[in-house]
Amino acid sequence: MTQSLDLLSLRAVSKSYGPVPVLHEIDLAIRDGEFLTVLGPSGSGKTTVLRLIGGLESVTSGAIYLDDRDISRVAINRRPFNTVFQDYALFPHMTVAANIGYGLSIRRRPRPEIKRRVTEALDLVQLGKFADRYPAQLSGGQRQRVALARALICEPRLVLLDEPLAALDLELRRQMQEFLKSIQREIKTTFLFVTHDQEEAIGMADRICVMESGRIRQLGTPHELYYRPSCEFVARFFGENNLVPGKLGVVDGDFRAIDTPLGRLSCCIGNQPDLRAAAEGQAAFAVFRPEALSPAGAEDSVNRFSGSVRDCAFSGSSTVAHIDAAGQHLRLRVPSRATGSQFRQGETMALSFSARESHLVLA
Amino acid sequence: MNGRSGRYQALVTLLAFALPVFFIVAPLLMFLAYSFFSVDHGEINYTLTVANYVRFFTEPVFLPIFWSTCVLCLSVSVICVLLGYPAAYFLTTLHGRWRYIMLMMLMVPLLMSYVIKIYAIRSILGQSGFLNTMLVGLGILEKPSSLFVFNMNAILLTLTLLLIPFAILPIFLALERIPQVLLRASADLGASSIQTFMRITLPLSVPGVASATSFVFVLAIGDFLTPQMVGGVNGFTFGRILYSQFGTAFNWPFGAALSVALAVVVIAAILAGERFGRQKGLPR
């Protein structure tokens, strides 16, 4: 990745509120045109990152560069970014059209131009008929789209979205996710999306930046984070991974042995040099997804052990069996079948997972 | 059991309606009725007549004073709002406890007796009062001026001083209700602080300004004590004429007719305040 592709970069940015540090020397580069999601639990500092970039807060130390120009001290109204706020923050005394045109009229664009661009923006967010309504007369999803149109109309270099879907119900949120993603593809503007919802992050982002306690834990594609988490926090945060503690053994090509209560397992280390270099005997976790674990009969897999079914949960398209194996709680997910569950409570069964579908993280 | 609680509810409902009817609507209707009576040698004549209203509209004393009083009270409300708005805005810029301490300080004058406040202001405005002494001391005036007391200026100044808290409070409440995130959104969209004030803060505080204006206007126009005490011979207001009809002139029917004229203006002011106080696009 060459420097010139980065739109915005945070370099060793720290932020504290009084004596309380919220961000610890964050380095983050946002690429031009990407959909980057900052994901983390509440209190992880993800919203602070957004506020620092937007100019609502100023950095305590470090700097923010836009095209290699330091903008850390540039005032909020002079930054070429626009924000979609969590509760939309639409101006209640203005019509939808006036809300959307606000940024242009502040910039004293001529009236015909404002009118034309507002119409375009309304069409983009499919609200053509609502131009003369007031925000109070709109539904949550419609307000959301007005807020988006208002942020996009000034053609910002970067759109900041602060958990904009949090207030919507599940069905609407799904629709808005697809909608946001399609708009972003259409206009090719860089989106920085902050959320605490990992499903949302996986569904929309080109890249995800996972944060915890004011630090970036991992930055990568949803696929990488899902299958190749780099630390215990990310492994646990993304879905319902199985983590089995153990001690590292010898390296064998792309794999490395780990001694666990389930016996000696072999897990993939891919191209992560720190896993290859880590000393033998060091504490680590074998990580594999519930859908990678399969009941017996599995082909050539080296990772075999037995466990007993403790519980079984049907959740529509898939069924999850909770399994007790040598004191470890594991989850096994299989597609559901009309003929009923193949698990019986208390039953002991042979289990295995493929080394390719597994991963290691250091403890 | 249902019957008893039902009867109890009916009684409460009846009371809730009866009290305002008895204490507010009935007296107003009585006043309205009185305005159609007349006075004959100190005795009230109960035959209906519109003579009182004819007198109000035709005699050349009443209408000019009526209009000049309306203009005076409108000026008082405009001045109160112009002075109260910056004060209220300043309050909203304070944080935490200080905001409410300052608000309390501004409201303290409301706790003092009305008459005492008028006396205090009169002694400040008087010929040898604080204001004149100060202006002469500073060399702005050569000798004490009589411009500040016993005329219309005095009424204007005194009413403004007395009523300004009633302007600050509704404006402060309206400003405080504006979500901070709207101001951030405005800045985010490129607006300077002046642009944000003109296009977001000011329009959203219009309801507060409207109720402040109608509040002050209604209180000012109903006041007869202040003009009586600081107005002197030159400061004649409608309230004073009204007062004299019930006192020295002892013409209750004519007084009632004047009150009805005043009530019409007051109701109009309240309705106007309500009309402009409604926020566009906000459900009420």
- Rounded Cα distance between B132 and B138, Å, is 10
Q: Does residue B155 lie within any of the structural domains?
A: yes
Taking CB atoms and an 8 Å limit, are B190 and A154 in contact across chains?
A: yes
Q: Angle between the A140-152 and A170-187 helix axes, to the nearest 10 degrees?
A: 20
Q: Does residue B203 lie within any of the structural domains?
A: yes
Q: Which two tokens stand for residue A160?
A: 């900041």
Confidence band, pLDDT 50/70/90 cuts, at residue A18: confident
Q: Does residue B4 lie within any of the structural domains?
A: no
Q: Which of A55, A77, A136 sits opposite B192 (nearest CB)?
A: A77
The answer to whether residue A3 scores a pLDDT higher than 50 is no
Chain A CB within 8 Å of residue B198 CB: no
Q: Which two tokens stand for residue A152?
A: 């996009």
Chain A residues closer than 8 Å to B278 by CB:
none
Contact residues for B162 (Cβ-Cβ < 8 A; gap 6+): B109, B114, B117, B118, B121, B226
CA B112 to each of CA A290, B99, B115: distance values in angstroms, whole numbers, following the listed order: 75, 22, 9
Q: Does residue B204 lie within any of the structural domains?
A: yes
Backbone angles phi, psi at A94, to 5 degrees: -120, 150
- Rounded Cα distance between A234 and A244, Å, is 15
Q: What is the pLDDT of residue B284?
A: 38
CA A81 to each of CA A48, A62, A66, A252, A263: distance values in angstroms, whole numbers, following the listed order: 15, 20, 11, 49, 53
Q: Report the gap between the CA of A77 and the closest CA in chain B (Å).
A: 4
Chain A CB within 8 Å of residue B96 CB: no
Q: Which of B188, B279, B283 sits opposite A83 (nearest CB)?
A: B188
Q: Report the gap between the CA of B276 and the closest CA in chain A (Å).
A: 13
Tally of CB atoms within 10 A around B113: 9
Helix, coil or strand: residue A316: coil
Q: Report the gap between the CA of B27 and the closest CA in chain A (Å).
A: 41
The alpha carbon dihedral of A14, A15, A21, A27 has a sign of negative
Q: What is the pLDDT of residue B282?
A: 53
Q: Report the gap between the CA of A232 and the closest CA in chain B (Å).
A: 37
Closest-approach residue (CA) in chain B for A137: B281
- Rounded Cα distance between B15 and B38, Å, is 35
Instruction: Classify strands A207-212 and A215-220 as parallel, antiparallel or unpaired.
Output: antiparallel
Percent with pLDDT over 90 in chain A:
45
- Rounded Cα distance between A252 and B237, Å, is 103
CATH code of the domain covering residue B256: 1.10.3720.10
Instruction: Choose, out of A102, A158, A160, the residue to mutate when testing the contact with B (most B CBs < 10 Å).
Output: A102
Could you report the predicted ipTM of this complex, rounded to two decimals?
Answer: 0.81
Task: Compute the mean pLDDT over every residue in chain A, rounded to the nearest whole number.
Answer: 89
The answer to whether residue A4 scores a pLDDT higher than 60 is no
Backbone angles phi, psi at A137, to 5 degrees: -95, 10
Taking phi over 0 as left and psi of -120 to 50 as alpha, with beta for the rest, A270 belongs to: left
Backbone angles phi, psi at A331, to 5 degrees: -115, 140
Chain B CB within 8 Å of residue A77 CB: yes
The Cα diameter of chain A in Å comes to 76
Closest-approach residue (CA) in chain A for B203: A93
Q: What is the pLDDT of residues A155-193, one digit of tens each?
A: 999 999 998 888 888 888 888 898 999 999 988 899 999
Q: Does residue B124 lie within any of the structural domains?
A: yes
Give the number of A-B residue pairs with CB atoms closer than 8 Å.
69
Q: Report the gap between the CA of A314 and the closest CA in chain B (Å).
A: 43
Contact criterion met (CB below 8 Å) for B96 and B103 = no
Chain A CB within 8 Å of residue B251 CB: no
Q: How far is CA A51 from the centre of its chain?
A: 18
Total structural domains within chain B:
1
Q: Which two tokens stand for residue A84?
A: 């979609």
Contact residues for A340 (Cβ-Cβ < 8 A; gap 6+): none
Chain B CB within 8 Å of residue A17 CB: no
DSSP A278: S
Chain A CB within 8 Å of residue B186 CB: yes
The answer to whether residue A101 scores a pLDDT higher than 90 is yes
Chain B residues closer than 8 Å to A103 by CB:
189-190
Taking CB atoms and an 8 Å limit, are A77 and B179 in contact across chains?
A: no
- The amino acid present at A288, given as its one-letter code, is F
Q: Does residue B41 lie within any of the structural domains?
A: no
Whether the predicted model's global pTM rises above the 0.90 cut: no
What is the separation, in whole angstroms, between the first and last Cα of chain B?
A: 38
DSSP string, chain B: -HHHHHHHHHHHHHHHHHHHIIIIIHHHHHHHHHTT-EEETTEEE-S---HHHHHHHHSTTHHHHHHHHHHHHHHHHHHHHHHHHHHHHHHHHS-THHHHHHHHHHHGGGGS-HHHHHHHHHHHHSTTSHHHHHHHHTTS-SS--STTSSSHHHHHHHHHHHHHHHHHHHHHHHHHTS-HHHHHHHHHTT--HHHHIIIIIHHHTHHHHHHHHHHHHHHHHT--HHHHHH-TTT---HHHHHHHHHTTT--HHHHHHHHHHHHHHHHHHHHHHHHHHSPTT---
Q: What is the pLDDT of residues A287-326, one digit of tens each?
A: 999 988 888 655 566 788 888 888 888 888 888 889 988 8
Q: What is the pLDDT of residue B281?
A: 53
List of chain B residues with pLDDT < 50? 1, 283-284
Helix, coil or strand: residue A230: coil
Q: What is the pLDDT of residue B82?
A: 96
Q: What is the pLDDT of residue B195?
A: 95
Cα atoms in the Cβ-side hemisphere of radius 13 Å centred on B116: 5
Chain A residues closer than 8 Å to B177 by CB:
none
Closest-approach residue (CA) in chain B for A98: B199
Q: Report the gap between the CA of A136 and the closest CA in chain B (Å).
A: 6
- The amino acid present at A45, given as its one-letter code, is G
Chain A CB within 8 Å of residue B204 CB: yes
- B65: domain range? 52-277
Chain A CB within 8 Å of residue B192 CB: yes
Q: What is the pLDDT of residue A157?
A: 92
- Rounded Cα distance between A212 and A225, Å, is 14
Taking CB atoms and an 8 Å limit, are A85 and B192 in contact across chains?
A: no
Q: What is the pLDDT of residues A204-215, one digit of tens each?
A: 899 999 999 999
Chain A CB within 8 Å of residue B179 CB: yes
Q: Which of B181, B189, B283 sits opposite A102 (nearest CB)?
A: B189
Q: Does residue B31 lie within any of the structural domains?
A: no
Q: Which of A90-99, A255-264, A269-278, A329-338 has the least mean pLDDT?
A: A269-278
Chain B CB within 8 Å of residue A137 CB: yes
Q: Does residue B80 lie within any of the structural domains?
A: yes
Q: Which two tokens stand for residue A30?
A: 């946002």
